[in-house]
Amino acid sequence: MKLKTLLLSVSILGSIAATPTYATQQEADTASAGEQILDLAKEQLLSGVGSLLFNRFFGSSGPNYVMLSEASLQAIQERVRAEIIRDAEFEFISEFRSLESSMEHYSDTARYGAPDLALLSSLLVKSEDVINHRALNVRYNNDFYYMADTYALAASVVVAIYTERYLQGYVSKSVVSTKAQNLANILDTMLRKKKSVDLPLRERCEAPDPHDQVVEYKCSLRDPHGNTITSYVIEPQYPGDEAYWENLKRVKEAQYRKTKFDGIQAVINKLRSL
């Protein structure tokens, strides 16, 4: 086996969670933030007391939802689309930013023991505007499914607001659960559509030049958009080269699926468990 094959085997097999090609990690991070929010919401729904938005996760010291969403959309733009992100998506980010700012303010007031209940009502309206934005609607945005990671985060924020309303005595727990189920159904549709355009991965190997002394097959694994996920040069004279390439493909495809789809599926599962 070639020395580079041996060295690469150690690094690849040692960490399947390494940052994947074409910045799909930004998308995974966005969905992951949604998972964390839903974990907190479930804890509060079980306890039935206190304030969910009191948690620092929702205040100014928590993650920046809009920044995560912008990074995710930028990663998608660079990998899939040549044009600038559409106006509808910029508008969505603007509304999401307004919601995030209002949540931070509510969180700060709750932390000091005097939650702004008037603002809580406003949060409900703002969150519904975000989750029903035209950028997330197939009738206005043909590529709406590419925002599945951002939708997963936004849906989790909506559930957090509904949970807070339950904790403050405005709605029943069943209202929160029903909302979560509806959001899970929409997100599931987005995920299935996203999989249909981002899979399957395809292998491509260039035949060796018959005039070259060394026989080499230049192989790559690509997504349906033509982006290279991984590549390798197979030299048949080295025993183990073909097996190494087959293993490399398996590892990289698992990594691809993990960062692009698994986080969204986890959010769907958690929404349905509320």
Q: Which structure tokens are listed for 183?
A: 């959001």
**Predicted pLDDT of residue 108:** 86
pTM score of the predicted model? 0.84
Beta strands in the chain (DSSP E): 202-206, 217-222, 228-234
**Predicted pLDDT of residue 6:** 31
Residues 6+ apart with CB under 8 A from 95: 126, 129, 130, 133
CA distance to 35, 158, 197, 207, 263, per residue, from 126 (Å): 21, 9, 31, 57, 25
**Predicted pLDDT of residue 76:** 72
Higher pLDDT pick, 197 / 6 = 197
Which string of DSSP letters, residue by residue, matches 175-214?
Answer: HHHHHHHHHHHHHHHHHHHHHHHH---EEEEEPPPTT-SS
Q: Look at 2-6, 35-39, 42-46, 270-274 and tell me which has the smallest mean pLDDT.
A: 2-6
Q: Report whether 183 contacts 271 (CB < 8 A).
A: yes
Tell me the pLDDT tens digit for each residue of 30-89. 888 899 999 999 999 999 988 898 887 776 666 677 777 777 777 776 666 645 456 788
Look-up of token digits 């493909």: 249
CA distance to 73, 95, 155, per residue, from 179 (Å): 25, 20, 9
Q: Where are the domains of the chain?
A: 20-199+256-272
The stretch 6-13 carries a mean pLDDT of 33
Query: 4: pLDDT confidence band, cut at 50, 70 and 90?
Result: very low
Tell me the pLDDT tens digit for each residue of 211-221. 777 789 999 99
